[in-house]
Amino acid sequence: MASHTLSQLMAEYTVGWILNHERGWLEARQNQLQGEWRHTGSIAYRCLNELTVGVLGMGNIGKEVARSLKAFRSEVHAFTRTEPSPEHRSKDVDKYWHTGELADFLGHCDYIVNIMPSTPDTRGMLGKDAFKHAKFMAMHNITKKRIDNAIHKMTHTATPLLDLRGRHKPAIKILGRKAEQFRAPKMDTCTICDTLQMALSNATTEQEKADQQAKLDDHQREAKKAQDYMKRLQDDNDPETRAVCIDLQQILPTPKLHTSAAYYRRKLWTYNFCIHNLKTKASTMFVWDETVAKRGSIEVASCLHKWMELESAKGDFGRLVVISDNCAGQNKNINLVLMYLRELHSKRLFEVNHVYLVPGHSYMACDRAFGNIERKITNQGVIYTPDDYIDAIKNAVAAGFPVIKMTQDDFFSFGTLSKYITKREAPGSTLKNVRKILLRLAFREGCLL
């Protein structure tokens, strides 16, 4: 028997998916991500009170689904294999259908919600013959067994187990004595590349094809230039230079359990920030949870400040090169610049060079480290506390990742330094399209290139 909490969650899930299907939210979101505006010129969707929704199975979940739909004044029909007794009939159901009336039931409904248990008696009941006279727009199957199976195959971040930060590791399948290597599927492709490729394939004239190809070549050339620069830093032997790439891992929910009820509950977020030394190929992890600090620019700047303190203890250096993605809220903002200026004025550094990779082409060593951590967490199974995440991170690779557990004393509000500087904004000048921030003691002001 499903708990009241699970029944409520499944009912909300059902209403949400019907609304999503009627409004076309997934398609609208996809268009938004691709920067496309597709307006049909009219509002074609229907209100919930215009819909007839059929529910197969009237247990606790089915009754809660019917109650939620009736609250929106939908017409609710229910299908049960046997006639329910008066005390078991739901007041939220407008009409009951029974065995032998399945075809007529399907023909009257705009949407079908299948909550019947998966048993030998119910499997195959909704075959193609049953759909010959159906008119419904969509069917949602939310049987508990299928829900549990789906949750079991997902990580805590709701991604497939094979998905390691958007990059699958190639699988090796042994066939007899022969090992076949399968190509990794393409994930997290660049939006600009995809847009230009689409425009190139849809071009109708040779001139249009040449223009789109030139744009694509320029974009990929710029992306390769940034990646090549990061590779050159790995071979830099200058003892005065430290070169790092930085990134924040996807949030880690605590606790991480396999029970279906826990999947929908509010969790404590744990954060993991990686600083990878491009020269030594050593990754240092900085971990804290949301009771200690947030995950914005102040936290990123504080972790970099902490890393520089630890690195200075090993030996002095004066030049810092930082490679990151273009996340404005974390890596491209005034708070990070203020931290760099503080280090310059304190004479710890004489130059800071922060380089931003081209969006969509920002894969770094940090992502490989996060992939190893995700795999370790998945294999570990259950996580109860943030300290369990720290243990998993430490043991994610054979050599182990050094982990710094951040406290509130380690985080600084660099924004308070803003009153001591003159922030000049030239017309049309923003950080959005900046690819490099270069700060030197020799400059009177920092230069944005």
Higher pLDDT, 142 or 63: 63
pLDDT of residue 129: 66
Q: What is the CATH number of the domain that holds 52?
A: 3.40.50.720
Q: What is the mean pLDDT of residues 84-95?
A: 86
Residue 110 and residue 136 in contact, taking contact as beta carbons nearer than 8 Å: yes
Q: What is the mean pLDDT of residues 68-93?
A: 88
pLDDT of residue 160: 39
Last residue of a domain, one of 152, 174, 209: 152
Residue 146 pLDDT exceeds 90: no
pLDDT of residue 30: 78
Are 17 and 138 in the same domain? yes
Residue 162 lies in a domain: no
Q: How many CA atoms lie within 13 A of 304 on its CB side?
A: 31
Q: How confident is the model at residue 122 (pLDDT cuts 50, 70, 90)?
A: confident
Are 129 and 20 in the same domain? yes
Residue 229 lies in a domain: no
- Which segments of 85-211 are extended strands (E)? 95-97, 111-114, 138-141, 172-175, 178-181
pLDDT of residue 43: 55
Residue 117 and residue 56 in contact, taking contact as beta carbons nearer than 8 Å: no
Q: Tokens at residue 321, please? A: 């090169």
Residue 31 lies in a domain: yes
Residue 449 pLDDT exceeds 70: no
Residue 310 pLDDT exceeds 80: yes
Residue 233 pLDDT exceeds 50: yes
pLDDT of residue 140: 53
Q: Residue 100: which domain range? A: 4-152
Higher pLDDT, 318 or 447: 318
Most confident residue range from 132-136, 199-203, 245-249, 328-332: 245-249
The 10s digit of each residue's pLDDT in 363-405 is: 899 999 999 999 999 888 889 999 999 999 999 998 899 999 9
Query: In whole angstroms, what is the distance from residue 229 CA to residue 226 CA?
Result: 5
Residue type, position 76, single letter: V
The 10s digit of each residue's pLDDT in 148-184 is: 454 454 444 443 344 333 443 433 333 444 444 444 4
Q: For the beta carbon of residue 364, count every other beta carbon within 10 angstroms.
A: 21
Last residue of a domain, one of 152, 182, 209: 152
pLDDT of residue 84: 82
Q: What is the mean pLDDT of residues 15-35?
A: 82
Residue 142 pLDDT exceeds 80: no
Residue 342 lies in a domain: yes
| Diameter of the chain measured on Cα atoms | 87
Backbone angles phi, psi at 344, to 5 degrees: -70, -45
Higher pLDDT, 312 or 104: 312
Higher pLDDT, 251 or 443: 251
pLDDT of residue 4: 67
- Of 253, 311, 308, 302, nearest to 273 (Cα)? 302
Are 377 and 251 in the same domain? yes
DSSP-H helix ranges across 281-402: 297-314, 334-345, 365-380, 386-394
Q: Which residues contact 61 (CB under 8 A, 6 or more apart)?
A: 2, 6, 7, 10, 11, 115, 142, 144
Query: In whole angstroms, what is the distance from residue 401 CA to residue 399 CA?
Result: 7
Distances (CA, A) of 318 to 48, 124, 239: 64, 70, 9
Residue-averaged pLDDT of the chain = 81
Residue 198 lies in a domain: no
Q: What is the mean pLDDT of residues 210-221?
A: 91
Q: Count of domains in the chain?
A: 2
Are 312 and 438 in the same domain? yes
Last residue of a domain, one of 152, 168, 190: 152
pLDDT of residue 363: 85
The 10s digit of each residue's pLDDT in 412-444 is: 987 778 777 777 666 666 777 788 999 998 755
pLDDT of residue 151: 44
Q: What is the mean pLDDT of residues 315-326?
A: 93
Residue 121 pLDDT exceeds 90: no
Most confident residue range from 69-78, 95-104, 422-431: 69-78
Q: How confident is the model at residue 279 (pLDDT cuts 50, 70, 90)?
A: very high
pLDDT of residue 311: 94
Are 142 and 243 in the same domain? no
Q: Which residues contact 102 (CB under 8 A, 6 or more apart)?
A: 79, 125, 130
Q: How confident is the model at residue 2 (pLDDT cuts 50, 70, 90)?
A: low
Residue 164 lies in a domain: no
Q: Tokens at residue 373, please? A: 């951590």
pLDDT of residue 370: 93
pLDDT of residue 189: 67
Residue 171 lies in a domain: no
Are 125 and 26 in the same domain? yes
Residue 444 lies in a domain: yes
